[in-house]
Structure 1
């Protein structure tokens, strides 16, 4: 079995969760011994596993179908998580949904990160079989390291007395960036750091203004930072606060959990079944609730959920994800073989 992993616009999307999903897929397939290629011109593959939905992605699907290849579409995107992102996203989101449905229905099988996103896709009227498989997490990469934590603290000049709250995400309203900044105003004694970057020309003026000018001095937007510094931040910070309104999973949450960090998220449907309030994380719905929880979590006056959170990440390790992907690949290949046998019997 050979799989073509196709990812359109890899350089552009490398800083996003979808970009990290591709890295996880490569690792996962290697872990279970499945041969893969990233060469879009390759023709000797069995399955096209496609991650993106641009014009070239559409062409790749059509090309694969004409060659008689099986197609698995990784449905990272929905209309719901496209809204409240780029300039004009809300106006064109119905068209995006229609386009996504046209693409996804060409596949032999769909993979999507959570039961929630699976429900959304089925709600679109899609009847293609769908498997819910996490994007996974590299536990070793996010294992606590004093050296990485030191690099993080030196980079941001953090002293031992300072309390630090972090978030990782694109500059989207959907990600809760407005709430993150508003809550930072309530805690001038804490440092709030938002890791991540989105080209300024692509986001609404209100969000550009917040990032560039209208935020309190205790909020920092250092941009996209990878490697030891961000990995050190995950474990060295006092809290990972992710107030996103809509996700298909949220790879950054898995990264925080794998770092044994205390996690605070918005109570939204995507977390049902794997995150549980006061058990492996804390959840809030309003800024008033977040304000109270941030204070109590940073000052450690309520129970710690780090170890239970780590167990969630462990259940979604890359090794486990590799086996789940392999199961879907084998099912698709077996279905093809069964179909060919049935066709031969009909012809005879």
Structure 2
């Protein structure tokens, strides 16, 4: 079996969750011994596994169809997570939905990160089979080391007793950036760091002003940072706070869990079934509630759930994702053959 992993505009999307998803797919297939190519001109493949949505992506699908190759579309995006992002995103969202549906309809099979995003796709009227498979997490990459933690604290010149709350995400209203800054105003004793970046011209003026200047002194926007500094931040910060309103999964949450970090998220449907309040994380609804939880978690006034959170990350390891992808590939190539792994993936999630 050989798979064409197609990813249009790879450099442009490298900093996004979709970009990390491609890296995880490559790792996953390598770990379980499935051959793959990234070259759309390589015709010696069995399955097209496509991740992106541009005009070139449509052309690659058409070419695969002409050659009789089955097509799997990785549905990373929905209308819901397009809203409240770029300039004009809310006005464009209905058109984006129609465009996505027109692409997804061409696939023999869809893959999407969570049962929640699967339910959204089904609500669009899509009838393709849809497998909810996590984007996965590289557990080894996020293991804490003294060197990584020191790199993080030295980079930001943090004092030994300085309490730090971090978030990782693009500069979108949908990600909860406005709430993050508002909460930081009320907790000046803590340092809040938002890692991430997006071209400033592409985001609304109010978000741009907040990132550039209209934020309190205890909020830092260092931009996109990778390697030891961000991995040290995940491990060494006092809390990972992710107030996003809409996700198809939230790879950064998995990264925090894999780092044995305390996690606080907004209670939204995408987490139902794998994150549970006071079991492997804490969840909140309002800024007042988040502020109280942040103080309680930082001061250890509530139980530490990092061990339980790490177990959740383990269940979504790169290796497990590889086996699940393999099961879908095998089904697409031979749908009539017995495939217990595929059947388990496609079984409706328990509520």
| Residue pairs, 1:48-59, within 5 angstroms | 48-59=48-59
For residues 146 and 71 of structure 1, the distance between their equivalents in structure 2, rounded to whole angstroms, comes to: 45
Structure 1 residue 152 and structure 2 residue 152: aligned? yes
Over residues 123-171 of structure 1, what are the superposed CA-to-partner deviations in whole Å (9 max), with x where a residue is unaligned? 0000000000000000000011111000001101111110000000000
Corresponding residue SS for 1:49: strand
| Residue pairs, 1:6-21, within 5 angstroms | 6-21=6-21
Per the alignment, residue 190 of structure 1 pairs with 190
**What TM-score, normalized by structure 2, do the two folds share?**
0.95
Runs of 5+ consecutive residues of structure 1 not aligned to the other structure: 339-348
| Residue pairs, 1:106-255, within 5 angstroms | 106-255=106-255
Structure 1 residue 40 and structure 2 residue 40: aligned? yes
Change (3 A) 1:337 1:316: closer
Corresponding residue SS for 2:335: helix
For residues 228 and 128 of structure 1, the distance between their equivalents in structure 2, rounded to whole angstroms, comes to: 41
| Residue pairs, 1:268-283, within 5 angstroms | 268-283=268-283
Q: 2:193, 2:221 within 8 Å by CA — same for their partners in 1?
A: yes
Corresponding residue SS for 1:110: strand
Per the alignment, residue 3 of structure 2 pairs with 3
For residues 202 and 63 of structure 2, the distance between their equivalents in structure 1, rounded to whole angstroms, comes to: 31
Over residues 3-60 of structure 1, what are the superposed CA-to-partner deviations in whole Å (9 max), with x where a residue is unaligned? 0000011001000000000000000000110000011111111101000111111111
| Residue pairs, 1:318-333, within 5 angstroms | 318-333=318-333
**What TM-score, normalized by structure 1, do the two folds share?**
0.96
Runs of 5+ consecutive residues of structure 2 not aligned to the other structure: 339-351
Shift of residue 62 of structure 1?
A: 1.1
For residues 289 and 56 of structure 1, the distance between their equivalents in structure 2, rounded to whole angstroms, comes to: 45
Q: 2:192, 2:218 within 8 Å by CA — same for their partners in 1?
A: yes
For residues 215 and 336 of structure 2, the distance between their equivalents in structure 1, rounded to whole angstroms, comes to: 56
Change (3 A) 1:337 1:189: closer
For residues 324 and 193 of structure 1, the distance between their equivalents in structure 2, rounded to whole angstroms, comes to: 35
Moved more, 51-60 or 278-287: 51-60
Q: 2:331, 2:337 within 8 Å by CA — same for their partners in 1?
A: no
Q: 2:27, 2:318 within 8 Å by CA — same for their partners in 1?
A: yes
For residues 297 and 194 of structure 1, the distance between their equivalents in structure 2, rounded to whole angstroms, comes to: 18
Q: 2:244, 2:266 within 8 Å by CA — same for their partners in 1?
A: yes
Corresponding residue SS for 1:335: coil
Per the alignment, residue 105 of structure 1 pairs with 105
For residues 90 and 63 of structure 2, the distance between their equivalents in structure 1, rounded to whole angstroms, comes to: 31
Corresponding residue SS for 2:111: strand
Corresponding residue SS for 1:159: coil
RMSD between superposed Cα atoms in Å: 1.1
Moved more, 100-109 or 56-65: 56-65
Per the alignment, residue 23 of structure 2 pairs with 23
Corresponding residue SS for 2:142: coil
For residues 112 and 15 of structure 1, the distance between their equivalents in structure 2, rounded to whole angstroms, comes to: 19
Per the alignment, residue 343 of structure 2 pairs with none
Q: 2:149, 2:235 within 8 Å by CA — same for their partners in 1?
A: yes
Change (3 A) 1:66 1:336: farther
Corresponding residue SS for 2:307: helix
